[in-house]
Structure 1
Amino acid sequence: MIDNIESLVLEHLRAIRAEQDKHSERFGRLEARLGNLETTVAGLRRDLAHMYGEIVEQHTHADQLVARIERIERRLELQDG
């Protein structure tokens, strides 16, 4: 009877260990996927920062052009008002 109970306990422990191994493998795959996502997000953030920098440069250039046009209009007395 005791041998029977011990076998049953060992059988359950083996089943638990097998399930735990499956979960460990899945957890490892999930960690790898999460790492890939973090890398992708970091790349997107870098790209967005670069695009923002370009937008700022374009705005600065446009502001400089507006200032030059206003100066030309003042010199030629073309401004309204």
Structure 2
Amino acid sequence: MAETDNLVLEHLRHIRGQLDRMENRLDDVTTRLGHVERSVAEHSVQLAEINAKLDRLDARVTRIEKRLDLVEVSN
């Protein structure tokens, strides 16, 4: 009976060790995912800034074209 108890305890310890390693890996994956999310958010902000600059440039070019009579003004 003692051998069976020792065998069960040994298996439980092994399972516990595996669970601890899996928990550590999950923590690492969660941390890395947070970095990816932050990077995507930063890129989204940069893209929005670029789009705003392009919109302003487009408005300026349109105004210049109208002043120089390079395009027909439509109503």
Q: How high is the TM-score relative to the length of structure 1?
A: 0.83
Deviation string 1:19-54 (CA, Å, 9 cap, x unpaired) is 000000010011001001100100000000000100
Query: Which has the higher Rg, Structure 1 or Structure 2?
Result: 1
Stretches of 4+ aligned residues off by more than 2 angstroms: none
Q: What residue in structure 1 maps to residue 48 of structure 2? A: 49
- 2:31 and 2:60 map into 1 onto residues whose CA distance is 44
Q: What residue in structure 2 maps to residue 66 of structure 1? A: 65
**Unmatched segments (≥5 aa) in structure 2:** 71-75
Q: Does 1:36 align with 2:13?
A: no
Q: What residue in structure 1 maps to residue 9 of structure 2? A: 10
Q: CA deviation at 1:70?
A: 1.0
Aligned residues: 70
Q: How high is the TM-score relative to the length of structure 2?
A: 0.90
Per mean C-alpha deviation after superposition, the further-off stretch among 62-71 and 14-23 is 62-71
Deviation string 1:48-68 (CA, Å, 9 cap, x unpaired) is 000010001100000000110
Letter in 1 for 2:15: I
**Unmatched segments (≥5 aa) in structure 1:** 72-81
